[in-house]
């Protein structure tokens, strides 16, 4: 069992006018086997949370703590966070020319496990996972995300998640840009990982449509860099019907 604890997290980004606060005191606890949905309007700080947890240098932690199983995440480098069991599926996955998908995946698995996986069983695992995600086997020899469509990039992110088996998976708007078929396939991949491991999932989304496929245990509404409301799946249904107006429009 693993636990990611976020306490009073404040994050800023540097602008021409100076530091701009984005997160203004976030408290969250994600445990193994739990799925937490982070929802909120554009600009509320959802993606800032994801990239701050992953260690993106653009985001400056001004105060607060983040621990994974009691270890100080903020003191870790990006690669140390990954080896500790944290995984980020990016909203806009980057291309890595010259590095094949197969080499990328095996190198990542070796770094996390501390030893290279047995080649025969590894190839089988990769092929099975790709088949379930409706990915052409030829993708394994292509450069990472180079020339991939938006849906193919997102499937590759979930392929990584299936093979690397993280303790905590942060999915930053994985539904962004997906058509109905791709959304279903990607969601099925996330659900397979949830069913076959103890992964804790932090699912960041602007819309509720992905939550029809991936059932959250907890829903947190982000507004202006803070958690404005928390609840269960019923909160997502209310947001579907009412939107975010009640959080954004001051009471008369």
**Residue 250 DSSP symbol:** P
Three-state SS at 213: coil
Tens of pLDDT, residue by residue over 29-69, are 999 999 999 999 888 999 999 999 999 999 999 999 999 99
Inter-residue contact 38 to 49 (CB < 8 Å):
yes
| CA pair distance 120, 141, nearest whole angstrom | 17
**Residue 207 DSSP symbol:** S
Read off the pLDDT band of 206 (50, 70, 90).
confident
63 phi and psi angles, rounded to 5 deg: -170, 165
pTM (global) more than 0.85: yes
**Residue 249 DSSP symbol:** S
Those residues with Cβ within 8 angstroms of residue 215's Cβ, 6 or more apart along the chain or in another chain: 35, 233
Tens of pLDDT, residue by residue over 99-158, are 999 999 999 999 999 999 998 999 999 999 999 999 988 888 999 998 888 889 999 999
> Which regions of 74-233 does DSSP assign to beta strands (E)?
86-89, 96-100, 143-144, 168-172, 200-205, 218-223, 226-231
């Amino acid at each position: 069992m693993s636990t990611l604890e976020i306490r009073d997290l404040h994050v800023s980004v540097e602008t021409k006018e100076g530091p701009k606060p984005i997160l203004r005191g976030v408290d969250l606890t994600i445990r193994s086997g739990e799925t937490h949905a982070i929802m909120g309007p554009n600009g509320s700080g959802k993606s800032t949370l994801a990239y701050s947890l992953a260690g993106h240098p653009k985001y400056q932690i001004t105060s607060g703590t983040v621990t994974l199983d009691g270890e100080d995440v903020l003191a870790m480098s990006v690669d140390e966070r990954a080896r500790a069991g944290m995984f980020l599926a990016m909203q806009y996955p980057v291309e890595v020319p010259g590095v094949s998908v197969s080499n990328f995946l095996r190198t990542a698995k070796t770094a996390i496990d501390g030893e290279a996986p047995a080649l025969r069983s590894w190839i089988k695992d990769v092929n099975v996972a790709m088949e379930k995600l409706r990915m052409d086997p030829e993708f394994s020899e292509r450069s990472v995300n180079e020339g991939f469509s938006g849906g193919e990039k997102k499937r590759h992110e979930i392929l990584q998640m299936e093979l690397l088996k993280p303790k905590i998976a942060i999915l930053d708007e994985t539904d962004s840009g997906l058509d109905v078929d791709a959304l279903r396939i990607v969601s099925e991949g996330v659900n397979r990982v949830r069913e076959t491991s103890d992964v804790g999932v932090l699912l960041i989304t602007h819309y509720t449509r992905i939550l029809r496929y991936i059932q959250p245990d907890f829903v947190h509404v982000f507004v202006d860099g803070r958690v404005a409301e928390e609840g269960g799946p019923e909160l997502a249904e209310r947001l579907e019907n009412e939107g975010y107006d009640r959080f954004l429009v001051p009471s008369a």
